[in-house]
Structure 1
Amino acid sequence: MAAVIVSRRALLKGAAASLALSALPARAQQADPFTPFRYRAPDEALADLKRRLGAVRWPEAATEPGFAQGPSLKELQDFIRHWRDRYDWRKTESRLNAWPQFKTEIDGLGIHFMHVRSPHENALPIILTHGWPSTILLFQKVIEPLTNPTAHGGTAAEAFHVVVTSLPGFGFSDKPTEPGWNAERTARAWAELMRRLGYERYVAQGGDWGAFVTTALAQQKPRGLEAIHLNFAQTIPDKIPEKLEPDQKKAVEAYTKFQESGFAYGMLQATKPQLAGYLLADSPVAQAAWLYDIFDGGTGTTGRPENLIPIDDMLDEITLYWLTNSSASSARFYREQAAILKGRNNPGVVDLPVGVSVFPHDLPPARSWAPLVYPNLFYWNEVDRGGHFAQLEVPDLFVAELRNCFSKVR
């Protein structure tokens, strides 16, 4: 989960490749090469994972209850037991490979993305960007309702052509071998991707680091980008006044508390991402504990986040991090952004139209400050359920928010 510091190859072949490429607009097929992509984890990798999960050296229990010191021993042991004995990655893999996936090189880096075209001709193209500790699987429950709304309680007028990207160093995108892949550089790559896909008009959405990438994209104003939607809006000004309105006080206090008691992972990843890699790359239990703790904080629970996000949905994300060995490369995004933000409380003014959805168990933005950073704010809604991972926790509400927000710019 990203935070702003308040004070401070497997390829598709033959006919399958032709079918996947047919999902791309004709202009895109002719203009730039896209390599069809599928993933199948080696059998030996899954066997090794199960072996490691069965040979754990556990520490003693914490001296405080709940998640105050990190996941409780009993709850994490239950979580790991489910991963080892009941979770089936092959089901997730099959579901993932049912969507058209591709890789393309942009700015010297292989970028992985899903491109799911709507059956409705006048659908609005949208590019969705995840954050940390998420992957493209964050959006797995919302792709179908967005692309085929008539089968999911909506109308054809609410349809989207969906592009879901893997951030550099995350999942199936390549791992950068040089510094500089921050939100701004990633946003430029996203603009180029949408150009290659042939979209002359589109919108963008993001939460967590995806909100920073989407914000940067809007600040760069690439041709065709009409508006953005954020579910992790940043409205706190760099200079915080002494007298605060109630919503401002709530936002500042929430961020301050988060940094004092919940941002240890972020401080490590922003300063020593390679160390995070060493800590996590050799132990799936460490990887699981690291992310399970964030799922707990992002749902507002004090234990058992699986009561709000299905356990297999969390394990989908964790397993993809493990199989792609992405702990260090994903952590580096924190260091890259820390160098850009340098203690700023928001990523700067966005002149393009901006829509915002606020989920109650996420870090709250202040509506009264919003015009300072979003002068063209055209949509703001505070819903009654969900948190930082709303796409998995309350996918129905997340889809409704995108439909309602972008109905104003269609």
Structure 2
Amino acid sequence: MSIEHFQIQVSDEVLDDLKYRLEHIRWPDQLEGTDWQRGTEINYLKSLISYWKEKYDWRTQERELNRFSQFRCNVDGIDIHFVHEKGKGPNPIPIILTHGWPDSYLRYKKIIPLLTDPKSYGGSPEDSFDVIVPSLPGFGFSSKPKHSGMNNCHISDLWAKLMTEKLGYSKFAAAGGDIGSGVTRYMASNHPELLIGIHLTDIGIIRDLMTSQNNAGLSDEELNYKKTASEWISNEGGYMSIQSTKPQTLTYGLSDSPIGVAAWIIEKFREWSDCSGDLSKSFSEDELLTNIMIYWVTNTIGSSAHIYYENTHSLPPIGHIDVPTGLALFPADVLLPPKEWAMRNLNITRFTTMPRGGHFTAIEDPESLAEEIREFFRAYR
């Protein structure tokens, strides 16, 4: 399969089916006196579903998304959907941005024009990028893996082939958060000769710190991270335990219920963002629902969950990252990594503690992240 232009075209039948399901919801109860501590709060979800039924317009969102230059091509048996927007400047750097879960390629919707056309947003055209934003295999409009083994490492190899063999770039930059951080780091480890540099907004759960029985030589920050991470996994990691062990069982319920998908995803956007418990401070209802719709109309909430199983059971170790690395940490993000660990294991050339933002900062505060990415890569042009 050569590179083909792609437009989102969800059938009326899919939208009519969704409308029927939203009109025939069987709501559960919620214990009196409980809020979000046991999961997605029912009154908020009822309000969001009401907006979904009465005001949300998928066709408007579809037209807006189709303004991007989108493509699909086959890489090693997987049809990869991606946005490819060319930079408006004298020497754009190609950069591949990788999303995570439970977001989608929409994580970078707002940041794309800020990177491709910085002059139009008060920046310099010298800082422009060619921006490539693929959908992970099993997410959105990319195809679903038919066999096991599609982990962060495998995806990094697909991305390397996408950028070089399909798009013709000999060297490029990469950035990502959540699963995207892992994929980006494996690209830097497995294909360092292709990378100009990488930029990360997190490092995920640092397994070697968590499993280490020897605390000798660890800094106070690293010891505190072990304690904090253990508590977070116990209190907030239920979704991860399920998706890492029995994702198929979860798939049946979520694939059949749009409010199930909404509840499963919305809780994470609230908990991981810099919204102080009020989702409206960081996201519009249209933004939240369009991300949910990407999962619903493609029936990928189940296939997306399987990457947790793959990363738990088949992911190889990763060595020291020698590629120049920028790390921007946002205060409301999940499990901020200890600086000492990052410095030992990655070639950190820019370490920034941002004044605000959370896990989804490319949506919450795209301007600050775009400026941080431009600043980091300025030294490698």
Please report the TM-score for the alignment, with normalisation by the length of structure 1.
Answer: 0.87
1:135-284 → structure 2 map (5 Å cutoff): 135-195=104-164, 196-221=166-191, 223-234=193-204, 236=206, 237-238=208-209, 239=212, 241=215, 245-284=219-258
1:368-407 → structure 2 map (5 Å cutoff): 368-374=340-346, 376-407=347-378
Question: Would the aligned equivalents of 1:126 and 1:202 in 2 still touch at CA under 8 Å?
Answer: yes
Cα distance between partner residues in 2 of 1:276 and 1:225: 37
Cα distance between partner residues in 1 of 2:11 and 2:344: 50
Cα distance between partner residues in 2 of 1:144 and 1:301: 24
C-alpha spacing 1:330/1:90, structure 2 compared with 1 (3 Å):
same
Instruction: Give, as a single letter, the amino acid of the residue that structure 1 aligns with 2:37.
Output: A
Shift, 1:247, TM fit: 2.9
Shift, 1:304, TM fit: 3.2
Give 2:321's aligned residue.
Answer: 350
Cα distance between partner residues in 1 of 2:278 and 2:3: 41
C-alpha spacing 1:110/1:241, structure 2 compared with 1 (3 Å):
same
Q: Deviations over 1:332-389 (max 9, x none)?
A: 10000001359x8xx5421211110101111211112212211x21011010111000
Cα distance between partner residues in 1 of 2:31 and 2:331: 29
For structure 2, the 5+ residue unaligned runs are: none
Question: Would the aligned equivalents of 2:40 and 2:263 in 1 still touch at CA under 8 Å?
Answer: yes
Q: Does 1:316 align with 2:290?
A: yes
Give 1:82's aligned residue.
Answer: 51
Q: Deviations over 1:137-180 (max 9, x none)?
A: 11110000100000012101110000001100000000011001
Sequence identity, in percent? 37
Shift, 1:83, TM fit: 1.4
Q: Deviations over 1:301-331 (max 9, x none)?
A: 5643232222211111101100000011100
Shift, 1:79, TM fit: 1.3
Q: Per the alignment, in what secondary structure is the counterpart of residue 253 of structure 2?
A: helix
Cα distance between partner residues in 1 of 2:170 and 2:198: 15
Give 2:70's aligned residue.
Answer: 101
For structure 1, the 5+ residue unaligned runs are: 1-31
C-alpha spacing 1:281/1:267, structure 2 compared with 1 (3 Å):
same
Q: Per the alignment, in what secondary structure is the counterpart of residue 204 of structure 1?
A: strand
Cα distance between partner residues in 1 of 2:142 and 2:204: 27
CA RMSD of aligned residues (A): 1.8
Q: Does 1:71 align with 2:45?
A: no
Please report the TM-score for the alignment, with normalisation by the length of structure 2.
Answer: 0.94
Q: Per the alignment, in what secondary structure is the counterpart of residue 322 of structure 2?
A: coil
Instruction: Give, as a single letter, the amino acid of the residue that structure 2 aligns with 1:334.
Output: Y
